[in-house]
């Protein structure tokens, strides 16, 4: 059987830096050995002309090294625009090869992988298989523990150091899946909708992260980018070889779900994605505005709505809850708590008190029902006002006592 090769992002190769993999032509001719550099812009152009590739194993390890590099730069506070200009790394660790095709780990691992693909856009390595793997793993995590999934993602949404674009995409995908289940959409359409949510903003992923950190209102150029990115996303996906007309339709019109140019049979899917996109965005803080509480975000979805849109908004609110796991609330007794599990009703989640009425951190985690008078929810609390670090393992241990109730 002949060797299969994967195209590499030639435009992201640094001139003068050694390459960490052998580079081949699509036909199997060795172009550069591992350790040799791209010596000039002309040399890079020749590699592009020969459709420079690497083996699948090398491609996957190199992509993993890139994702790790981006994650480190974000944690160190490097500007997103500078990250966007960063070339492919010139070193690959042995551990990058250990990560198999099947994704392991939890939501933060998925977020790191997805962010790498979204940042690279049309230059992403082996995007088809990787996106399919992300979607499969995300749905597995969601099925295993929906409340834990919501908790992890809403907590990550409040952490600007993690980046925004990939968290937004994953959270939209989860909210879409839960809402579509509630509305009894067929399984194939739900799968398409989740896939569309993951990639709908690939046309402006790095700019999406820049906007999340920006201290001023969007410029005219940025507003144009926001308006035009659905079409750009479709063009990138078509460059990946994606041909599913339904997925491309939902991505193209996710800001204009009622467009007369869109496929009529995808109207419900487009509405779900459009509302989820807005819902998650409103709950994410910006330098220019505070995050909306979950209750206010829910109200904004259904206020003034009617017909199908009202039905979608209501289903989404019931699916995620008025106070989704991972968000914060003020209790009637004065304590500040984090929600950890949805309750029987959308407004009665289970919570863990983390601050007493004087704002002092509580050492012991215990789950409480908000159906009791003392623990009734008095108000939502913005995540940026809570300065307590929550250990996910402590939260999970506390939840164990109520999971089987």
pLDDT tens profile 266-284 = 999 999 999 999 999 988 8
pLDDT reading at 359 higher than 80: yes
State the average pLDDT over residues 240-261.
95
Mean pLDDT taken over the chain: 89
The percentage of residues in the chain with a pLDDT greater than 70, rounded to a whole number, is 94
Q: Which of 282, 281, 257 is nearest to 271 (CA)?
A: 257
Q: Residue 395 contacts by C-beta under 8 Å, 6 or more apart in sequence?
A: 151, 338, 340, 352, 365
Residue environment code for 174-198, b if the CB has 16+ CB neighbours within 10 A, otherwise e: bbbbbbbebbebeeebbbbbbbbbb
pLDDT tens profile 148-203 = 999 999 999 988 777 899 999 999 999 999 999 999 999 999 999 999 999 999 99
Per-residue confidence (pLDDT) for residue 1, from 0 to 100: 42
> Quick one: angle between helices 107-120 and 205-213, nearest 10?
110
Whether 156 contacts 108, CB under 8 Å: yes
Per-residue confidence (pLDDT) for residue 26, from 0 to 100: 87
pLDDT reading at 17 higher than 60: yes
Instruction: Provide the residue ranges of all domains of the chain, joining segments of one domain with +.
Output: 6-57, 101-320, 328-403
Poorest-confidence range of 208-212, 321-325, 372-376, 378-382? 208-212
Per-residue confidence (pLDDT) for residue 215, from 0 to 100: 78
Question: Does CATH number 3.40.640.10 belong to domain 101-320?
Answer: no
Residues forming beta bridges with residue 339, ordered by sequence position: 351
- What φ, ψ does residue 305 adopt, rounded to 5°? -80, 160
Up-side HSE of residue 257: CA atoms within 13 Å toward CB?
18
> How many residues would you count in the chain?
405
Whether 197 contacts 191, CB under 8 Å: no
pLDDT reading at 93 higher than 70: yes
pLDDT reading at 260 higher than 70: yes
Q: Residue 56 contacts by C-beta under 8 Å, 6 or more apart in sequence?
A: 4, 5, 6, 126
State the pLDDT confidence band at 3, using cuts at 50, 70 and 90.
low
Extract the tokens encoding 228.
């035009």
Per-residue confidence (pLDDT) for residue 100, from 0 to 100: 46
Per-residue confidence (pLDDT) for residue 103, from 0 to 100: 64
pLDDT reading at 354 higher than 80: yes
How far apart (Å, rounded) are the C-alpha atoms in residues 65 and 87?
11
How far apart (Å, rounded) are the C-alpha atoms in residues 340 and 398?
9
Q: Residue 122 contacts by C-beta under 8 Å, 6 or more apart in sequence?
A: 236, 239, 240
Q: What is the pTM of this model?
A: 0.85
Q: Residue 326 contacts by C-beta under 8 Å, 6 or more apart in sequence?
A: 150, 151, 152, 153, 154, 155, 157, 338, 339, 340
Return the SS3 of 390.
coil
- What φ, ψ does residue 387 adopt, rounded to 5°? -105, 20
pLDDT reading at 301 higher than 80: no
Poorest-confidence range of 6-20, 164-178, 384-398? 384-398
């Amino acid at each position: 059987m002949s060797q299969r090769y994967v195209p590499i992002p030639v435009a992201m190769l640094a001139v003068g830096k050694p390459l960490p993999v052998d580079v081949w032509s699509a036909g199997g001719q060795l172009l550069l050995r591992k350790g040799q550099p791209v010596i000039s812009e002309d040399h890079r152009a020749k590699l592009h002309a020969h459709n420079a590739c690497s083996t699948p194993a090398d491609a996957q390890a190199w992509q993993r090294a890139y994702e790790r590099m981006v994650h480190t730069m974000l944690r160190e506070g490097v500007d997103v625009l500078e990250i966007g200009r960063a070339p492919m790394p010139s070193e690959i660790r042995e551990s990058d090869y250990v990560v198999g095709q099947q994704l392991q780990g939890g939501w933060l691992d998925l977020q790191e992988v997805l962010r790498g693909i979204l940042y690279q856009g049309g230059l992403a390595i082996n995007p088809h298989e990787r996106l399919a793997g992300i979607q499969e793993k995300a749905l597995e995590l969601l099925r295993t523990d929906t409340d834990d999934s919501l908790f992890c993602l809403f907590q990550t949404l409040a952490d600007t150091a993690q980046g925004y674009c990939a968290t937004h995409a994953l959270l939209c995908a989860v909210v879409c899946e839960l809402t579509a289940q509630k509305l009894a959409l067929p399984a194939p359409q739900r799968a398409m909708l989740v896939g569309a949510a993951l990639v709908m903003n690939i046309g402006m992923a790095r700019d999406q992260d820049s906007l999340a950190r920006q201290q001023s209102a969007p410029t005219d150029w940025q507003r144009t980018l926001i308006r035009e990115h659905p079409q750009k996303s479709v063009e990138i996906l078509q460059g990946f070889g994606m041909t599913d007309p339904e997925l491309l339709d939902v991505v193209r019109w996710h800001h204009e779900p009622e467009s007369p140019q869109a496929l009529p049979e995808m109207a419900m899917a487009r509405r779900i994605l459009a509302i989820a996109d807005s819902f998650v965005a409103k709950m994410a803080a910006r330098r220019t505005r505070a995050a909306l509480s979950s209750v206010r975000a829910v109200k904004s979805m259904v206020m003034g709505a009617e017909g199908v849109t009202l039905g979608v908004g209501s289903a989404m609110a019931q699916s995620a809850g008025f106070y989704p796991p991972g968000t914060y609330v003020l209790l009637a007794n004065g304590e500040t708590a984090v929600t950890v599990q949805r309750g029987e009703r959308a407004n009665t989640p289970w919570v863990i008190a983390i601050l007493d009425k004087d704002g002092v951190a509580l050492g012991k985690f215990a789950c409480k029902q908000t159906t009791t008078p003392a623990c009734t929810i008095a108000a939502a609390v913005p995540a940026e006002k809570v300065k307590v670090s929550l250990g996910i393992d402590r939260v999970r241990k506390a939840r164990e006592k109520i999971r089987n109730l």
